[in-house]
Chain A
Amino acid sequence: MIMKEIRIHGRGGQGSVTAAELLAIAAFEDGLYSQAFPSFGVERRGAPVMAFVRLSDHTIRLRSQVYDPDYVIVQDATLIETVDVASGLKADGMIIINTEHKPEDLHLETEAVVRTIDATRIALDIIGKPIMNTVMLGAFAGASGEVTVDSIKHAVQDRFPGKVGEKNAEAVQSAYDRGVGA
């Protein structure tokens, strides 16, 4: 495996940094080296934020931000209007967007695969709150195959023990099932 780079776009308060951390922990459980870090911007609620993840089967030494991601995860589709979410995305890469719209309706300028998932709806139905960061990780596991859904669920339940974790894990599985081969 060569190194895979992932960029997560969200708004402050949507748990993008937590999603990056959980993805790194899950990938490590799968036997990979991983690195997760926030974009070094001012964090305030509602402001556009980014978080980054690197996965590799070798020690990860690179410390720069991610410029040419293999995957992009967009937690909030309204960001597309203000942020170039597909910037640098590799042509053979993939962008996964939380929206109720179809990929072709988004008119993204990228050669990469565009996937959409209504993560907010899944979160509301299963968790009961519009917390879609863990849902997006399930979708990522399903669509990319870079990390197992079990590891994602372990990471989520380890971070959020009890009922909250269980609900989140259920939402992860639901998004994963929709993500596989979608």
Chain B
Amino acid sequence: MTGELKSGRQVVEGSYAVAHAAAMCRPDVISAYPITPQTHIVEDLSQFVADGVIDSKYINVESEFSALSALVGASAAGARTYSATTSQGLALMHEVLFNAAGMRLPIVMTIVNRSMSAPINIWNDHQDSVAQRDTGWIQIYIEDAQELVDATAQAFMIGEDPDVSLPVMVCMDGFILSHVFEPVDLLDQKDVDDFLPQFLPVRALDPDNPESFGMFVDPAYYMDFRYLVEQAMDASRSKIEDAAKKFESSFGRHYGGLIDTYHTDGAEIILVAMGSLVGTLRDVVDDLRSKGKPVGLLKIRAFRPFPIDEIKKAVAGAKVVVVLDKNISLGTGEGAVTTEIKAGMYNGDISVPVIGFVIGLGGRDIPVTTVQRIVEKAEDVIRNGIAAESEFVDLNHSHVRV
């Protein structure tokens, strides 16, 4: 294997596509610990570095905790930094995630979404990153390999904006996107150099002018720093939209900003999802629309910051909102996206029934027929009202009594 920087439009693996995109963003420091299904990304990147095709410093570490800690230091010193992880690796980073965000360090990290143990399982759902939703990281969920490439470049622009200065997770579905081979327009170095400004940190460690980063803060200050992080999250809303628009004007491709909508105008049923499932749902919506059924789709790109205003606007005219959650917030009976949409709409002036479906956990496949059955349930809600606010989809009835 040699580290080769391919170019142009090619059929490549999703993992290669993201490694290539990260490389084109010229990270000064990369640090990561290999874990399935993220492995191919860091193999490709370390090969690029070893073969000298990119200039980055690659720090080998003995754990994910160390990987992110190394990047906290590098980012504080003003370096552009990149990592990738998944599942247990992300969980091991948990306390460093808070530190990176609280210290306002715009690290970009690809999350190759995978389920959480136990039981141990290496396949896709969104539990790992959804469980980190309160850490202060921006989270963007990706639909296909091309968006993955393009969103990686956008992530550096968003996070490094001085009004934001927050770390960003770019979340891609494990195996479904990490191991797929499909056509991708790889980014050209000059185009990325033109698109992505140089990283100018708000403040950086400087040996000639020493400062202490990550200081102890007492009750007189702590809450105010947390408020600043929330303000930065709020500021990132327009920056996420701007980055998507700037990318479109440079590269001609657009996937939505905080959200994307598909046939939501006049839709009575609006399906809501994040990640690669959105692609399957587009096919289902086209099929149902061709049969005269008023079904639309709302893709949540940014789960943090949560785009409740955009969601409310998109679903205002619908008769039922159907949320497909690849995660379960145990003890609430439903996925986090379902809960947050319901909470966000509660005090508003629109009232649309919201039902949730927990789906595709631990890599359980989501066939078109499953989505069609969900749409039928939504039609029943329109006719007869809500029977169940949330349910697990495609449980195996020979395994569990429902």
Contacts and interface: CB of A to CB of B under 8 A. Distances in A.
Q: Do chains A and B touch in the complex (CB under 8 A)?
A: yes
Interface of A: 20-21, 24-25, 28, 33-38, 40, 60-65, 67
Contacts of A40: 123-124, 175-176, 363, 365
Contacts of A65: 365, 367
A24 B11 contact: yes
Contacts of B176: 37, 40, 63
Contacts, number: 63
Contact of B182 (A36, A38, A64, A67): A36
12 contacts: A25-B181, A28-B11, A33-B183, A35-B182, A37-B179, A40-B123, A40-B363, A60-B182, A61-B283, A63-B279, A64-B365, A64-B368
Given A24-B181, A40-B363, A34 B123 contact: no
Given A24-B11, A61-B282, A63-B279, A38 B367 contact: no
Contact of B144 (A38, A61, A64): A61
B181 A64 contact: no
B277 interface: yes
Contact of B180 (A25, A37, A64, A67): A37
Interface of B: 10-11, 13, 123-124, 144, 173, 175-176, 179-183, 276-277, 279-280, 282-283, 363, 365-368
A67 B372 CA distance: 15
A20 B13 CA distance: 12
Contacts of B363: 40
A90 to B, nearest CB: 15
Q: For the complex, would chain B's binding face be called helix, strand, loop or mixed by DSSP majority?
A: mixed
Nearest to B364: A40
A25 B179 contact: no
Contact of B367 (A20, A21, A67): A67
Query: Which of A24, A60, A61 has the most CB atoms of chain B within a 10 A radius of its CB?
Result: A61
Contacts of B181: 20-21, 24-25, 34-37
A61 B368 CA distance: 12
Given A28-B183, A62-B280, A64-B280, A37 B175 contact: yes
Contacts of A28: 10-11, 183
B79 to A, nearest CB: 35
A40 B98 CA distance: 32
Pick the 9 closest A-B CB pairs, nearest first: A61-B279, A36-B181, A37-B180, A28-B11, A25-B11, A63-B276, A21-B181, A35-B182, A64-B367
